[in-house]
């Protein structure tokens, strides 16, 4: 890749390295310059720009990131669309992240242009939580380096082992003076821990702190069909021959390991009876604070084998009591937020009658053998946007009938004759309160593809000044547009037959143009002639 100053007259096809003002326009870094950009730069008196040009064996950043993500992502992960050389991997369901650290290190050492970052191995994750990110540092990756990285990562470098529902039984022992309130608290804390790992506490029994009583309780728990048996002693285990391990062995169990290099949690006992895991709990398990028991429980619940070697490998990072809370990334409003997939809804505006179409309802006009509105809705359903809300107005029953069986919500706009703004306001009001933003789609744009919506969602990052994501094709802006939640109030206050495009100039500093290569973002069907051209294939489509 060649990088440096380029005369504006020779910069067509080059990648802009730094954002530049060109009259009323702001050309943002990463933009592939076209002739119209060069004209605006020249008119602004700019003679040269800092830009990058790719060599024949370079792989563009998005393509390189996509290829690596396909190899890195194992079961339980979904990938964002690539944008600015980045692909994020998100957990599809709760579980534990597994990472092949040796392969990860080998891949990251190949070339500084290519990076793969993951959560620490065995981190518990929630559905939608970010687990890994692939980032190409420059605007392209050298072809030979990319090939070497693909070989190094192999397949399924990162996976999420999902939690498997388990039924657990808790056995607690008593000594004279044991407080029932302490045992009651242990039940509540244990139930919460199990629930967080996708499991449930089926029963809790209390018994004397004696070998025979422990043996009887463990045997009874095994006979009851427990998938996991937890034994909390009134007195901490101090030796393999202590009451709890002796009782487990008397029940036919085998003590596999005692002790762990995690503090708090040192005095954990790992045993098994007829294949069922039995854990002798350290005293800290009575507290909701993170301890070594959590790490073992999470792996067992995710079906990850836990043996002596696995336990003794927990020492690095095992000093839990002294770890201060790590600063968390922050949401748009400044509150802490764990990295996760953005919650972006899709709003499909299908309320208008479109007088230019004549007497026909254009939403029901046939395109490729089915109503036009179904194309926009199916595109949204095939994307990562959720939920999908359709705004109806003119002839709502017919529109809803055309969409029957689809997993969408509806917002009716009785004032649809007032224009597009009223439909936009009705749709915004119907969106859930916990979403981060919305892609506003038009029901008369049947050639937009799901990849366009996914690319807009991947581009969205308000922290980096990308709160409004506008698709382009060959440098021309189109629809749909993704808007951050912060703009909802302004969008709902617009009046007349205009959409939210009137807000773009006011918030240009928060806008990013996202090249999609999809001509469908420029095509809306407003007239019978446009519909006829679409039917004959004379209009460009994605």
The pLDDT tens digits for 469-518 are 999 998 899 999 999 999 999 999 988 776 787 899 889 889 999 999 99
* pLDDT tens, residue by residue, 418-444: 888 899 999 999 999 999 999 999 999
Residue-level pLDDT at 537: 64
Global pTM?
0.84
Q: With respect to CATH, is domain 58-162 assigned 3.90.1170? A: yes
Mean pLDDT confidence for 107-124: 97
Cα→Cα distances 142→3, 72, 442, Å? 14, 19, 40
- CATH for the stretch 2-53: 3.90.105.10
Cα→Cα distances 418→16, 421, 430, Å? 42, 8, 18
Mean pLDDT confidence for 79-91: 96
User: What's the angle, vertex CA 220, arms to CA 214 and CA 221, rounded to 5?
Assistant: 90
Instruction: Label residue 404 left, alpha or beta by phi (over 0 means left) and psi (-120 to 50 means alpha).
Output: beta
Domain residue ranges in the chain: 2-53, 58-162, 167-321, 344-536
* pLDDT tens, residue by residue, 352-409: 766 656 567 889 999 999 999 999 999 999 999 999 999 999 899 999 999 999 999 9
Under 8 Å between Cβ of 303 and 227: no
pLDDT at 12 over 60: yes
Under 8 Å between Cβ of 271 and 278: yes
**169 vs 276: CA distance, rounded Å:** 12
3-class DSSP state of 152: helix
Rounded to the nearest integer, the mean pLDDT of the chain is 92
463 confidence band (pLDDT: 50, 70, 90) = confident
Cα→Cα distances 243→72, 277, 280, Å? 47, 18, 11
Nearest one of 83, 82, 76, 86 to 157, comparing CA atoms: 76
**302 vs 101: CA distance, rounded Å:** 19
- The CATH number corresponding to 167-321 among 3.20.20.100, 2.40.50.140, 3.40.980.10, 3.40.50.620 equals 3.40.980.10
Domain spanning 344-536, CATH architecture: Alpha-Beta Complex (3.90)
**291 vs 288: CA distance, rounded Å:** 9
**17 vs 463: CA distance, rounded Å:** 20
Under 8 Å between Cβ of 469 and 477: no
* pLDDT tens, residue by residue, 231-267: 999 999 999 999 999 999 999 999 999 999 999 999 9
DSSP 242: S
464 confidence band (pLDDT: 50, 70, 90) = confident
DSSP 466: B
């Amino acid at each position: 890749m060649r990088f440096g100053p380029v005369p504006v007259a020779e910069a067509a096809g080059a990648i802009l390295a730094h954002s530049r003002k060109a009259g009323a326009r702001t050309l943002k870094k990463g933009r592939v310059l076209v002739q119209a950009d060069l004209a605006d730069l020249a008119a602004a008196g700019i003679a040269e720009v800092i830009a990058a040009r790719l060599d024949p064996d370079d792989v563009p950043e998005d393509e390189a990131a996509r290829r690596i993500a396909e190899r890195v992502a194992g079961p339980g992960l979904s990938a964002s669309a690539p944008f600015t050389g980045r692909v994020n991997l998100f957990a599809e369901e709760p579980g534990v992240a597994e990472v092949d650290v040796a392969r990860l290190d080998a891949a990251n050492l190949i070339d500084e242009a290519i990076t793969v970052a993951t959560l620490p191995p065995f981190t518990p994750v929630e559905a939608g939580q970010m687990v890994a990110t692939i980032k190409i540092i420059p605007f392209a990756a050298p072809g030979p380096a990319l090939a070497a990285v693909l070989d190094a990562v192999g397949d399924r470098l990162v996976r999420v082992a999902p939690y498997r529902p388990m039924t657990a039984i808790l056995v607690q022992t008593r000594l004279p003076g044991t407080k029932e309130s302490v045992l009651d608290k242990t039940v509540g804390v244990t139930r919460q821990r199990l629930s967080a790992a996708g499991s449930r506490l089926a029963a809790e029994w209390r018994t004397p702190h004696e070998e025979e009583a422990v043996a009887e309780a463990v045997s009874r728990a095994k006979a009851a069909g427990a998938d996991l048996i937890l034994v909390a002693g009134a007195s901490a285990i101090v030796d393999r021959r202590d009451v709890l391990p002796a009782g487990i062995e008397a029940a036919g169990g085998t003590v596999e390991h005692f002790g762990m290099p995690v503090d708090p949690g040192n005095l954990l006992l790992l045993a098994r009876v007829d294949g069922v895991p039995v854990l002798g709990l350290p005293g800290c398990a009575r507290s909701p604070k993170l301890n070594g028991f959590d790490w073992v429980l999470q792996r067992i619940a995710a079906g990850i084998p836990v043996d002596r070697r696995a336990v003794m490998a927990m020492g690095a990072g095992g000093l839990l009591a002294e770890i201060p809370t790590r600063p968390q990334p922050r949401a748009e409003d400044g509150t802490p937020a764990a990295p996760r997939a953005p919650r972006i809804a899709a709003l499909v505006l299908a309320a208008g009658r479109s007088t230019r179409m004549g007497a026909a309802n254009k939403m029901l006009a046939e395109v490729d053998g089915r109503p036009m509105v179904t194309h926009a809705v199916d595109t949204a359903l095939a994307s990562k946007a959720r939920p999908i809300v359709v705004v109806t107005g003119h002839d709502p029953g017919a529109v809803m009938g055309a969409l029957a069986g689809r997993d969408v919500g509806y917002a009716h706009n009785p004032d649809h004759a007032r224009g597009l703004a009223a439909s936009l306001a009705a749709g915004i009001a119907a969106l859930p309160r916990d979403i981060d933003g919305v892609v506003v789609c038009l029901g008369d744009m049947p050639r937009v593809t799901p990849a366009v919506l996914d690319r807009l969602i991947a581009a969205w990052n308000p922290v980096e000044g990308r709160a409004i994501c506008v698709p382009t094709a060959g440098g021309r802006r189109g629809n749909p547009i993704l808007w951050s939640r912060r703009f909802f109030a302004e969008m709902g206050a617009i009046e007349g037959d205009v959409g939210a495009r009137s807000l773009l100039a006011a918030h240009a500093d928060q806008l990013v143009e996202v090249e999609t290569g999809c001509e469908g973002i420029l095509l809306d069907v407003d007239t019978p002639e446009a519909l006829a051209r679409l039917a004959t294939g004379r209009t460009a489509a994605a």
